[in-house]
Amino acid sequence: MTDQLDTQQVRLRAQALESLLVERELLKESDIDEVIERFERRVGPMNGARVVARAWTDSEFKHRLLEDATETIREFDFQGGQIEKLVVVENTDSDHNLVVCTLCSCYPWALLGLPPRWYKDPAYRSRAVREPRRVLSEMGLDLPESRRIRVWDSSAEIRYMVLPRRPDGAEEASLEELTGLVTRDAMIGVAEL
């Protein structure tokens, strides 16, 4: 390779190499696609979303998840951002859960990826424990007065994730479609679906 290639040249060169290798049957295009797929789905909110969708559709799994989330998520083989102990807390018609870390910015990385900036900023960290109802309302989630709010301050090495309520009207949805409905904010507890 000559020095200082521009991006277009490099892209071309990568394509050329791939097409040669495929042509000579050293590689199959589908192999490469599969590896990319694995890379792209390794970490991030999609991991948490898969856990949530599974819990919505499999009551035995959900039961185990709420009893012992650490052990239950092992079957997903998530990599990166290890969680020593995970606790999943369930939102219901009577209870709403919200996760914060007032002392630093502890967050279930392996399931939700990197935390958003607001989660690490002083405004959320200071207010979530003192006026959670107002904070949620400001963030667009108005809960009925009757709904009890439980805030989880991650002050040790235990990490928390919210199991949101399953949205109405998604009874026919497939596991894949359900996974696509779950948002990061719902798994922190600042949104509903």
Partner 1 sequence: MDGIHDLGGKQGFGKIIREPQEPAFHERWEASVYTAMTAIVRRGWLGNIDRFRHAIERIEPSAYLTHSYYGRWLAGLETLLEEGGHLTCEDLDRLVRQKGGFDEDQALVRAARPSLYFNVSSPSESGGLGARREVSRTPHFALGERVRTSAHGHDGHTRLPGYVRDKIGEVVALHGAWVYPDSNAHGGGEQPCHLYTIAFEGSELWGSGGEPGTEVCVDLFEPYLESCEG
Partner 2 sequence: MADRTEAVGAPSANGELVFEEPWQGRVLSMAVCLSDCGAFAWDDFRARLIGAVDARPDEPYYVQFLAALEETLLQTGLIEQADIADRVQTLAQAPHEH
- Where along the sequence are the contacts to partner 2 (CB under 8 A)? 1, 3-5, 7, 10-21, 24, 26-27, 31-33, 35-36, 38-40, 42-44, 79-81, 109-110, 113-114
The reply to whether 30 belongs to the active site is: no
Closest approach of partner 2 to the CB of residue 192, in Å:
26
Closest approach of partner 2 to the CB of residue 40, in Å:
8
Selection from 122, 125, 142 nearest residue 133 by Cα: 142
Give the bridge partners for 98, in sequence order.
151
- Which of the residues 19, 30, 59, 106 is marked catalytic? 106
Give residues in contact with partner 1 (CB under 8 A).
Answer: 79, 82, 84-85, 87, 102-105, 113-114, 116-118, 120-127, 129-135, 138-139, 145-158
Give the bridge partners for 162, in sequence order.
89
The reply to whether 126 belongs to the active site is: no
Q: Which is nearer to partner 1, 56 or 107 (CB)?
A: 107
Do the Cβ atoms of 52 and 150 come closer than 8 Å? Answer: no
Do the Cβ atoms of 76 and 52 come closer than 8 Å? Answer: no
Closest approach of partner 1 to the CB of residue 188, in Å:
11
The reply to whether 106 belongs to the active site is: yes
- Which of the residues 104, 126, 137, 155 is marked catalytic? 104
Closest approach of partner 2 to the CB of residue 63, in Å:
29
74 binds, among partner 1, partner 2, none (CB under 5 to 8 A by kind): none
Distance CA 65, CA 38 (A): 24
DSSP secondary structure string, 135-187?
A: HHHHTT----TTSEEEEEE--SSEEEEEEPPPPTT-TT--HHHHHHH--HHHH
Q: Which is nearer to partner 1, 140 or 180 (CB)?
A: 140
What is the amino acid identity at position 53? A
Neighbours of 110 (CB within 10 A): 22
The reply to whether 146 belongs to the active site is: no
Residues designated catalytic: 101, 104-106
